[in-house]
Amino acid sequence: MSLFKRLLNPKKHKSDEKAKQSDTSKYYPEEKLPIDEKFTYNFNKNGGKFLYCESMDEILEAFDNILIENDWYERDVFCVDKNLASRFDGFNLNFTQKGNTTFFLTTCESLVAKNGSILLSSNQIKEKKLSELPFNFVVFATTSQLVDTISEGLRIIKNRNTKQIPTNITTIQDFETDKEKDFMSYGSSTKNLYLLLLEDL
């Protein structure tokens, strides 16, 4: 802008300066949140239900509260992990891999902070698609499974499984059951998801 125009229109000049400052400020480096805070924020934004626990006793108590809240006692539960089924034994649940089940009890590969998603593989879901699994999920995970990005989670899967990399690797990040779908969420499978997170660090 020429000096002449600036003198004639000082208000416009000031507003231009403010706009320029606001433009440059958005290019400053973003304040980096700790990985756990970032995951919690994004996971909650996606509509997930988050239960942080410091001990296995707290995990079992939180699990009991989930069963009470949803009236899930004495129901069929989809679970492929025998160790996990034995860990949550004693709640009058029938753990199975067949037929219609009330909810899916599972572990996960990683918790991805960048988008608040849960990384799963054939270790948890065999060769099933997310749409073939029950609508309700209860995921048991630990704080040591937090990663910043999906690629970091994939690298951990590769390093952990040197002989045979699991197949059917997928993420789930849509937990808002009443959210109106748009074209960006086409093909994604919405789940009602509870995360039981155990502090292990």
Is residue 76 situated within a structural domain? yes
Query: Which domain, by its residues, includes 63?
Result: 32-174+189-198
Is residue 117 situated within a structural domain? yes
For the question of whether the overall pTM of this predicted structure is more than 0.85, the answer is: no
| Residue among 23, 26, 3 nearest 13 (CA) | 3
Is residue 24 situated within a structural domain? no
d(CA 43, CA 176): 10
d(CA 135, CA 108): 17
d(CA 136, CA 145): 22
Q: What are the tens digits of pLDDT across the range 118-165? A: 999 999 999 999 999 999 999 999 999 999 999 999 999 999 887 888
CB burial of residue 133 (10 Å; 0-12, 13-18, 19+): buried
Q: What is the CATH number of the domain that holds 100?
A: 3.40.50.10420
d(CA 53, CA 34): 19
Torsion of CA 138, 191, 179, 37, to 10 degrees: 50
Q: What are the tens digits of pLDDT across the range 27-66? A: 656 667 899 999 999 999 999 999 999 999 999 999 999 9
